[in-house]
Amino acid sequence: MSTIWTIARKDFKTYFTSPIAYILIALFLFIMGWMFFFNLSHFNLQNMQYQQFNMGKGISITDGIIRPLYGNMNVILLFIIPLITMRLFAEERKGHTIELLMTSPVTLGQVVLGKFLSALLLLLVMLAFTLVYPLVLFIFGNPELGPIVTSYVGTVLVASCYIAIGVMFSAGTENQIVAGSLTLVTCLFFWLISWASQAVGSVWGEILTQLSLIHHYNNFGQGLLNSNDVVFFLSFIGFGLFLAHRLLDSFRWR
């Protein structure tokens, strides 16, 4: 475990030796800050209209702010994560330093997990800055804690799936643009795959729905922690990292 952590820490520090991490964090926080402000303003406007026309209690903070905010966060990360992962192995391959990595006294599994963990650490740093949003809601309102916690758990799991896909494609090419583009397209495919379930039979429709990342995230957004969804995400991550391991292994033998 110490070897994995050493690799992860080294790669994590590398992000901050260039403007990459700072630009991505700033871009992410700018977009999320705008969305939070927009959702908050829209929520207040809707509830004022409900009160004005005596239409009942209005929309809850969970439905009006939390669910759309963290749902949109997963979409934004879909575009951000490929920019984080595209360099992990592609840069090593292009610079021919991957040969040194593969001949060092570490296993391929440790290398893959270390690279994955470094990207995950950067993701957690980005998410840590967004804790200000629920803090604001608790100061000025009375939101439910459960949906906020499960939304963060679901977001970390979904983004980890993005990272696993990114690690896999970065391990398969030395071109960072190719790795990032393939990661984006594949993540988008698994995010939207359930849309096609209506156009096929019931059996295939159920299969496509079960492969959809958004389908398995929905329960988290509603404040539900379903073991089936957790198992799906962990299996998805494990399979992506396994494919990355196989790609590196095949490169070593070529």
Supply φ then ψ for residue 200, to 5 degrees: -120, 180
Find, among 192, 218, 226, the residue nearest to 68 by Cα.
218
Is the distance from CB of 45 to CB of 105 less than 8 angstroms?
A: no
Q: Apex CA 214: angle with CA 147 and CA 126, to 5°?
A: 60
Q: Which phi and psi angles does 174 have, rounded to 5°?
A: -100, -5
Instruction: Please list the pLDDT of the chain residue by residue as tens digits (254 residues).
Output: 678 888 888 888 888 888 888 999 999 999 999 998 888 887 777 767 666 666 556 677 777 888 888 989 999 999 999 999 888 877 766 666 666 666 667 788 888 899 899 999 999 999 999 999 999 888 887 888 888 999 999 999 999 999 999 999 988 888 889 988 999 999 888 888 876 666 666 776 777 778 888 888 888 988 888 889 999 999 999 999 999 888 887 766 55
Give domain limits for the chain: 2-18+70-253
C-alpha span between 150 and 147 (Å, rounded): 5
